[in-house]
Structure 1
Amino acid sequence: MKLSGPAAPQGVGVPRPEHALPVARPPRADAGHTGPSWWWLGVHGGAGVSTLERAVPGGRDAGRAWPAASASATVPVVLVARSSAHGVKAAQSAARQWASGMVTGVDLLGLVVVADAPGRRPRTLHNLVRLVSGAVPRLWEIPWVEPWRLGEPPLAHLPRECAPLARDLTRLTRPA
């Protein structure tokens, strides 16, 4: 797995987005619970976070807000968007928010783009995904899965693209 974009926010010279995702309050720790290995951050409604949460165990839904970091550690975050123009532009805005330094204490692992329709993506959307992938450390793409749309359990119909996603996220969040 190689980086497709920057590993850290660039800050200077990166324009701030017009619409920014909020930053959540730090989550309360449950007794004996260490928290998720990473946070899934859906950059728009219907991004596919709840499905990914079940298909690739280890992460937790951040509730469409950047999770707040503790004073002692950074928080690993994975952006999630649908491959529609609206979804990819929302991912671009979130990546810009991170890159400009508006969000602190976040270790952005990358972006998961979940197909919004079956078949090949139109060239315009393909190019937009490629453009946005240059603003995040890594890109993973999940194809259209018709049984997911019909409410079938994600683990019963896991596309092969979920295996490298799970492997990469496990490796990236493993304690040093």
Structure 2
Amino acid sequence: MTLDEIRVRIDAIDTQMKPLFVNRMECAAQVAAAKAKTGGDVFVLERELAIIEKRASDIDADIYDEYVAFLRHMMSVSRRYQYGILTDMQERVLKDALEESGFDGGKPHDQVEISFTCKKEASDLNLFMNMIRLNKVEIDGMNLTSKDAVQTIDMTLDGNIHDGNMKRLLCQIGKEADGFKIRDLK
């Protein structure tokens, strides 16, 4: 098979994946609507791990890690979409983080300093970085330190906490990361 023939085949596969993706996002919207009524969490680690284990159990070892990465990314995108629908959740997470930090959120700012932690051995820093990119928020600065198998990430993000994408991002990090804090509004 030539390179051009392989590319045609890839294009055909991608075309088939598009309606499946749209269907998955429609289901994600329905899940978000149900969670809005019940107050359920969008991110349930145990459920996601069980889904990944079940779906990846028959994948060839040569592509196992790539398939797991694909599933994790797809689930992260789905959660991002759900957090965007769950505006009441966004407001609660933001309000709680501001209260904990002692900020009222009313002061003018164009940067948000945050911190959160991840266990080093199972770090999801790559997914958090991807969330930032998906939400079209730029990182102005970042520092990562490790101590006792825990990574602490300090970031300065460009934007305002009242912007839609920033709210969605802070909600997702606030719900999915340990020790999430808003450290400053600058």
Q: TM-score, normalised by structure 1?
A: 0.29
Higher share in helix = 2
Structure of higher CA gyration radius = 2
* TM-score normalized with structure 2 length: 0.28
